[in-house]
Structure 1
Amino acid sequence: MNAVLIVGCGDIGIRVARLCSPATVAGVVRRPESAARLQAENIAPVVLDLDRPFTAAELDADGRELYYFAPPPATGDTDPRVAAICSVMRGAHRPRKLVYISTTAVYGDCKGRWIDETAPLEPGTARGRRRLDAERQWLAWGKQQQVPVVLLRVPGIYGPAKLPVQRLRQGLPVLAEDQAPFTNRIHADDLASACLAAMQHGADGEAYNVSDGHPTNMTDYFNRVADLLGLRRPPVIDRATAERELTASMLSFLSESKRLDNTKMREKLGVKLRYPRLEDGLAACGRELGCD
């Protein structure tokens, strides 16, 4: 198997690395303290700050299968980190193939409609515009460098390490369920499987929606997680109150409503979901966390 490099090797990166065995895997992290976790998983750590100048030799992507999971900066409409990495991965320093985790925010608000990958790309938030900029940079770079690039458009990710525990313990409010927009989710294990399938079977230049195919809403999700963990369900507020009390980040998620069609992921990548419904995935989270 080919050597693998995972840039932004956090929880999802580690799950992907486990599936890549027996390939040799290296993971790029920003902080030295993250390196120990990678070493414990038999992942060779590469400590690299994408916001500072770096060289192709430091990145060491040459001929590898590259998974790019690093997020863009928190502000702006572009992703300078992708620009920086594209600038050094050229010529002999190119990876063999690249899989990029994007976001379904690139579609913007679809008014609750079911959408597939042919939907217009009309991001209504800076978060979505940054990811669309990254998608376009990767596709242009891939064409120029003759490297296959596969895009995965991913909604909310959940798993044992990705539950809103702190928010629930703080008792922060949620929007009334009858006013909450449709949201989509994918379990961390299923996302990792989709990443591997994209590397193996994804077509150059293609995008794939990665979701469980059963949208709910954020309020329903928070309530189910609270029940799972034995915590009090969050207080409910109406839309007008939410506009005053919720953070700009949370409001950006509540400003969009869409239902994702995952047919292309299942049929073209051959992904068989382990957790096709939220209740399946949360039950697995509960078992891993030792919840009764």
Structure 2
Amino acid sequence: MSHTLIIGCGDTGLRVAARAVAAGERVTALVRSRASAIRARRVGALARQWDLDDKPPETALLASADRLVYSAPPPRQGTADTRMAGICEALAGHRPATAYISTSGVYGDHGGGWVDEDTPVAPGSERARRRVDAETRLHEAVPEAVILRAPGIYGPGRLPVDRILAGEPVLDDSAHAWTNRIHIDDLGALVWKAVNERWAHRLYNATDGTPTSRTAYSDTLAELLGTDPPPRIDWAEAEQRFSAMRLSFLSESRRMTNARLLRDTGYRFLFPDYRDGLIASLRGEPAIS
């Protein structure tokens, strides 16, 4: 029986775990909290609580993995992903079929311009620099690893419903601040596909290919909730209201193409348009298997 190891089994990892279990895999999920362990066990995975900041998992566990899915975030500080560094060291030359969920933030701000996988990285925050570090370390340890650069992940339970219903303001994006998204069910399917197939490239933009403005997304969600569009504020007011992390996201604008992904993998998105994805998400948690 093949073994799939998932490091960082949150919402996306659960979807991968469910697919692996359904395929007859032995699945181990390394998680940080007891609540996450319970969720992983519910889909049929063996769950182990582990703190990657304390120590990496034992080499024997990593060596037993035929497939490795890494979706754990980097540490909160610094420019290096010490968690990924520990994993790469513990792999000790073992090279399982590997997929890493990175972030579109590695591209930095492009003023609304298009980015593809050949666009040089230009991280504008320490958070993004940690992701670049993780990508580099993983490709040195496992050159065949597939890196999926994901933008905003949305889905059931991952929508700003409370903020919209409360009438909280959003930044007026009249300056054409573009954002990109992927529904969590599409991301889970792509990750599972990545560790089961041989693709032509090692790096992909994991996005639905339908960039939109932030206000269009918020207005659409408000419409589907049957409430008024959120009020707009300018940047000066946003600096007074929003956290530094939220402002860092708002300061970047880019449009991501998924042409390479579609060409190489033949994947057909469940939700290529965010409106359909929002409708499905608001209906409740779908079966993740």
- The answer, yes or no, to whether TM exceeds 0.5 is yes
The separation in 2 between residues aligned to 1:182 and 1:202, in whole angstroms, is 32
Per the TM alignment, residue 193 of structure 1 is displaced from its structure 2 partner at its CA by: 1.3
1:139 alignment partner in structure 2? 139
Q: Deviations over 1:129-149 (max 9, x none)?
A: 111111001011124xxxx21
2:280 alignment partner in structure 1? 284
Q: Matched residue of 2:174: which SS?
A: helix
Q: Is this contact kept in 2: 1:4–1:25, CA < 8 A?
A: yes
What does 1:1-292 align with in structure 2 at a 5 Å threshold? 2-20=2-20, 21=22, 22-56=24-58, 59-91=61-93, 94-143=94-143, 148-203=144-199, 206-288=202-284
Q: Deviations over 1:140-172 (max 9, x none)?
A: 1124xxxx2111000000000211234335543
Q: Matched residue of 2:47: which SS?
A: strand
The separation in 2 between residues aligned to 1:57 and 1:257, in whole angstroms, is 41
Q: Matched residue of 1:66: which SS?
A: strand
Q: Do the aligned partners of residues 269 and 2 (structure 1) sit closer, same or farther apart at CA in structure 2, a change above 3 Å counting? A: farther
Q: Is this contact kept in 2: 1:8–1:27, CA < 8 A?
A: yes
Per the TM alignment, residue 117 of structure 1 is displaced from its structure 2 partner at its CA by: 0.4
Q: Is this contact kept in 2: 1:179–1:239, CA < 8 A?
A: no
Structure 1: gaps (5+ residues): none
Q: Do the aligned partners of residues 214 and 105 (structure 1) sit closer, same or farther apart at CA in structure 2, a change above 3 Å counting? A: same
Give the stretch that moved more between structures: 152-161 or 216-225. 216-225
Q: Do the aligned partners of residues 207 and 2 (structure 1) sit closer, same or farther apart at CA in structure 2, a change above 3 Å counting? A: same
Per the TM alignment, residue 235 of structure 1 is displaced from its structure 2 partner at its CA by: 2.5
Q: Do the aligned partners of residues 202 and 171 (structure 1) sit closer, same or farther apart at CA in structure 2, a change above 3 Å counting? A: farther
The separation in 2 between residues aligned to 1:51 and 1:269, in whole angstroms, is 35
The separation in 2 between residues aligned to 1:90 and 1:274, in whole angstroms, is 37
Q: Is this contact kept in 2: 1:66–1:95, CA < 8 A?
A: no
The separation in 1 between residues aligned to 2:274 and 2:128, in whole angstroms, is 24
Q: Do the aligned partners of residues 55 and 249 (structure 1) sit closer, same or farther apart at CA in structure 2, a change above 3 Å counting? A: closer
The separation in 1 between residues aligned to 2:226 and 2:79, in whole angstroms, is 40
Q: Is this contact kept in 1: 2:59–2:90, CA < 8 A?
A: no
Q: Do the aligned partners of residues 202 and 132 (structure 1) sit closer, same or farther apart at CA in structure 2, a change above 3 Å counting? A: farther
Q: Is this contact kept in 1: 2:177–2:213, CA < 8 A?
A: yes
Q: Matched residue of 2:2: which SS?
A: coil
The separation in 2 between residues aligned to 1:201 and 1:38, in whole angstroms, is 24
Amino acid at match of 1:159: G
Amino acid at match of 1:4: T
Q: Is this contact kept in 1: 2:95–2:142, CA < 8 A?
A: no
Per the TM alignment, residue 289 of structure 1 is displaced from its structure 2 partner at its CA by: 6.0
Give aligned pairs, total: 284
Give the stretch that moved more between structures: 187-196 or 216-225. 216-225
The separation in 2 between residues aligned to 1:205 and 1:289, in whole angstroms, is 33
Q: Percent identity?
A: 42
Structure 2: gaps (5+ residues): none
Per the TM alignment, residue 227 of structure 1 is displaced from its structure 2 partner at its CA by: 2.9
Give the stretch that moved more between structures: 240-249 or 181-190. 240-249
Per the TM alignment, residue 55 of structure 1 is displaced from its structure 2 partner at its CA by: 4.2
TM-score of the pair, normalised by structure 2: 0.91
Q: Matched residue of 1:99: which SS?
A: strand
TM-score of the pair, normalised by structure 1: 0.90
Per the TM alignment, residue 33 of structure 1 is displaced from its structure 2 partner at its CA by: 2.8
